[in-house]
Structure 1
């Protein structure tokens, strides 16, 4: 089953696709003047990086970085990605240079890049590449604003400043549209986000999920815990959230069986929870709600619709849908949980 399982990218609305395309025009041809450019930036871990010329061969060591590069129209310059880079769909066809956490230095070198975008998860690999003379920029956004800053940083590094500015402006408009619709709501429902159920992992403060819940007009039922944390079933029951969000991609197989969602709606001890009784259990795309990429705004819009269907005209519970589509699969589960556990241990 693991070998047969593939990553599925859930559809987004035509409006969102059009907006992204409008803000992500293709990369412009490099001129002689651009080859003489010299840019100095400070990356997300405080490193000073000097970029000579306009990079033409780029390796991405994180799915979120890959999504940013595609949003800037840089797909033709990408010569290597990780095994977990699966969005856009074309990214999966790019040459692989190792895992999301275990990037392969030899494969990166074989791709002959003139620029590598790494992440906190591949910090050790980035350090080794730098000692070998590679130009490495580390992107590690911790907030939605951090994602917007990193889009602009990537644009500056690659000579795609105009595309980055247009992308950020469009995302900011969408963010403000959501905030403007929910800011006058007198009640902020409590929301729990479950990453996995065995053991029970929830999203606490300092995570994208926590910020998305807050910006969407909710209150994180586990806002008192740090990052991604394990809680007991008793603690979860005591929290009694108004809404429960569960990550797709956490065990969903080709038969459409979503392990986390089905656990929540079938576990006898959870049936008395307000969210379960009121059919307020929703599935969110695990990648969309956890990656520091432009799609984090998709997650914000989706969650806002789940919590406030009267305002957004959305919010169809998973229980009301027919669950037949192929799943995101084991690969996404391994990537997402490995990253979460690594960050948890480092914290």
Structure 2
């Protein structure tokens, strides 16, 4: 009799502990969750529940989503979304500026991350069909960090976003400290995205910010955005370093057209950067996209300007979050063992 009462007492205690542990827990599917965010178009967007079917309409958005560990929830991307390599296996919903609305709808998304280049017509159409659309359009490195935080809140990945932002800020700080502590003067740096005609970066671009934080001075800093300069103006400027874009759309069969032009054009052979072999190829996607990889570009450029001293810290993947209920399962086994021992008595 006493054994039976003890077993019942243990069972009751177990139920109380189990109820106490689950009473305040949010539903596993996040159905009770509701969050409001203000996207980069200044539009306030209400997101109900925790999105499980996400469509990304821009390469930079896709990179942020993957960096936050959301690959299992991404159901479609654009044809231009090529990083990380796992994007190759995702269904495609058209191009960056040629989104196929029918294909997007067919994916039944509960959240869409778009960009201005998708066009107002496409974005307005998706919203008119009841789709939840968040626009990301970072213009600076701080803007990238802000959009990582925004994406984390929109998807319920706040902790992962916070961890990623902290790691990126640490890496940025390391580069900035290295640049500040360098005894060398700030060299002039030109970044070219095309050579016929010569297109260079000016103020208000990611590339300008990368050059500046890395310890350089943009040779064409007074220029607004991306602009064409004459060959004569480029020669007169005579930058200490030249960065040329490669990557998607910039090379053909391993042939870096811009780099080849710079180092073979007779009129450029007297430039300091060419004579001192300081012409470097940098992946256009890494240095142009508003994604976490912009910090990779920052470290790469710092490595050119300050060889052997730039930060090389790479963010590690966010740790796996322990699923709710793990502690309860352990408790069940422990109490079951206690009951069996009592029964043997």
Bin for the TM-score computed over the shorter chain: 0.7 to 0.9
Residue 136 (structure 2) aligns with: 139
Aligned pair partner of 2:287 in 261, 283, 289: 289
Residue 188 (structure 1) aligns with: 186
8 Å contact from structure 2 (residues 299, 311) kept in 1: no
Tell me by how many angstroms 1:286 deviates. 0.6
2:175·2:310 contact (CA, 8 Å) conserved in 1?
no
Give yes or no for the alignment of 1:252 onto 2:251.
yes
> How many angstroms apart in 1 are the aligned matches of 2:123 and 2:311?
45
Counterpart of 1:155? 152
How far apart, in 2, do the equivalents of 1:313 and 1:98 lie? Answer: 37
What is the CA-CA distance between 1:312 and the residue it aligns to? 3.7
Query: In structure 2, what is the Cα distance between the partners aligned to 1:218 and 1:31?
Result: 51
How far the C-alpha of 1:252 sits from its partner, in A, is: 1.9
Where does residue 305 of structure 2 map in the other structure? 307
Q: Distance in 1 between matches of 2:246 and 2:214?
A: 19
Q: Secondary structure at the match of 2:301?
A: helix
Aligned to 1:75: 71
2:22 alignment counterpart: none
- Residue 158 (structure 1) shift: 0.2
Q: Which is worse superposed, 275-284 or 102-111?
A: 102-111
The 2-side partners of 1:147 and 1:163 are apart by 15
| Number of positions where the alignment pairs a residue of Structure 1 with one of Structure 2 | 284
Structure 2 unaligned runs (5+)?
A: 1-25, 313-345
Please list, as runs of the form range in 1=range in 2, the aligned pairs for 1:1-347 lying within 5 A after superposition.
31-32=27-28, 34-124=30-120, 125-185=122-182, 186-249=184-247, 250-254=249-253, 256-309=254-307, 311-312=309-310
**Structure of larger gyration radius:** 2
Q: Distance in 2 between matches of 1:99 and 1:150?
A: 22
Determine helix, strand or coil for the equivalent of 1:213.
Answer: helix
Encode CA deviations 1:281-302: one digit per residue, 9 max, x unaligned.
0011110000000000000000
SS of structure 2 residue aligned to 1:40? strand
**How big is the alpha-carbon RMSD for the aligned residues of Structure 1 and Structure 2?**
1.5
| Distance (Å, rounded) in 1 between the aligned partners of 2:69 and 2:271 | 45
What's the counterpart of residue 10 of structure 1? Answer: none
How far did 1:33 drift?
A: 6.7
How far 1:221 sits from its partner (Å)? 0.6
CA distance in 2 between counterparts of 1:226 and 1:284 reads: 21
Q: Secondary structure at the match of 2:223?
A: coil
State TM-score, norm by structure 2.
Answer: 0.80
Shift of 1:198: 1.3
- Give the drift of 1:32: 4.0
Deviation (angstroms), 1:101: 1.5
Distance 1:151 1:208 in 2: 16
Moved over 6 A (4+): none
